[in-house]
C-alpha cells in the first residue's frame, strides 16, 4: 500500500523519507525522518486497507495496545 502511494508522488520538490519499516507484536512500524513525512503518512493512512473491512490508524509509539 505504501509503495502505491509513494509511486504517485511528484518527482520534484519535497521528498518524503521513511527511515525504517518493521513489524513488532503484529504492528507495522514506520519510522519517519521528519514531521512533514509523518504528517503526509498520517493523511494517507485512513485511505489504506490491508484487507476488506480492515481499517488502519496511526498512533504514537507510546500508545498502549488495545
| Matching residue, cell 509503495 | 3
Sequence ranges of the domains in the chain: 1-7+16-61
Task: Over range 26-36, report the average pLDDT.
Answer: 84
The whole-model pTM stands at 0.65
Task: Over range 26-46, report the average pLDDT.
Answer: 85
16 falls in which pLDDT band (50, 70, 90)?
confident
2 falls in which pLDDT band (50, 70, 90)?
low
The CATH architecture of the domain made up of 1-7+16-61 is 2-Layer Sandwich (3.30)
Amino acid at each position: 500500500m505504501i509503495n502505491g502511494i509513494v509511486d504517485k508522488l511528484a518527482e520534484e520538490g519535497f521528498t518524503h523519507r521513511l527511515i525504517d519499516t518493521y513489524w513488532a507484536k503484529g504492528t507495522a512500524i514506520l519510522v519517519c525522518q521528519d514531521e512533514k513525512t509523518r504528517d503526509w503518512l498520517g493523511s494517507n493512512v485512513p485511505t489504506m486497507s490491508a484487507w476488506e473491512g480492515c481499517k488502519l490508524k496511526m498512533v504514537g509509539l507510546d500508545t498502549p495496545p488495545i
